[in-house]
């Protein structure tokens, strides 16, 4: 695959899921950098490059970066008390001790103790 450095192809960061431009090294090998997360992905070897190209093409065709961003908006929560951002996980579910109803997600910061309600999530 012959990509230019124009950034017209993207691949999601494995940490924050934000779409990042696919760049090409001087030796024509693809790489991705996410400066906010400090993640650098360098793809080496013919098999790895071929599989990476397939993933990028599939993502471009199926709108993978868009779907990942939508998922993040739904399941990446922010604590209203301490501002900590975290992913909604089963182990953080908070239910009522009275009737067992779903209340929201516990903030994973030990000293916080806040519950992030699910209402208002799209």
Tens-binned pLDDT, residue by residue, of the chain (122 aa)? 444 444 578 888 888 878 889 999 999 999 999 999 899 999 999 999 999 988 888 877 777 767 777 777 778 888 999 999 888 888 999 998 899 889 999 999 988 989 998 775 54
In degrees rounded to 5, what are phi and psi of residue 86?
-155, 160
Torsion of CA 80, 81, 86, 92, to 10 degrees: -100
Q: Residue 37 falls within a domain, yes or no?
A: yes
Instruction: For residue 45, give its domain range.
Output: 10-72
Do 63 and 20 lie in a common domain?
A: yes
Predicted TM-score of the model (pTM): 0.53
What is the number of other CB atoms lying within 10 angstroms of the CB of residue 36?
A: 10
Classify residue 47: in a domain, yes or no.
yes
Q: Are residues 26 and 61 in the same domain?
A: yes
Cα(69)–Cα(66) distance, integer angstroms? 5
Q: Which of 17, 32, 21, 22 is nearest to 64 (CA)?
A: 17
Question: Based on the domain organization, do 67 and 95 belong to the same domain?
Answer: no
Position of tokens 């993640």? Answer: 39
- Residue 38's alpha-carbon distances to 13, 41, 72, 85, 113, in angstroms, are 10, 10, 19, 17, 29
What per-residue confidence (pLDDT) applies to 17? 77
Number of domains the chain is built from? 2
- How many other CB atoms are there within 10 angstroms of residue 49's CB atom? 15
The predicted pLDDT at position 65 comes to: 66
Considering the domain architecture, whether residues 61 and 84 belong to the same structural domain is answered as no
């Amino acid at each position: 695959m012959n990509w230019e450095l124009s950034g017209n192809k993207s691949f999601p960061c494995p940490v924050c899921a934000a779409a990042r431009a696919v760049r090409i090294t001087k030796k024509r090998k693809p790489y991705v950098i996410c400066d906010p997360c400090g993640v650098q992905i360098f793809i080496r070897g013919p098999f790895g490059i071929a599989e990476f190209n397939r993933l990028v093409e599939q993502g471009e065709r199926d709108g993978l970066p868009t779907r990942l961003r939508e998922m993040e908006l739904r399941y990446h929560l922010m604590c209203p008390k301490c501002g900590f951002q975290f992913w909604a996980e089963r182990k953080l579910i908070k239910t009522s001790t009275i009737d067992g109803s779903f209340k929201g997600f516990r903030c994973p910061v030990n000293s916080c103790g806040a519950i992030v309600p699910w209402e208002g999530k799209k």
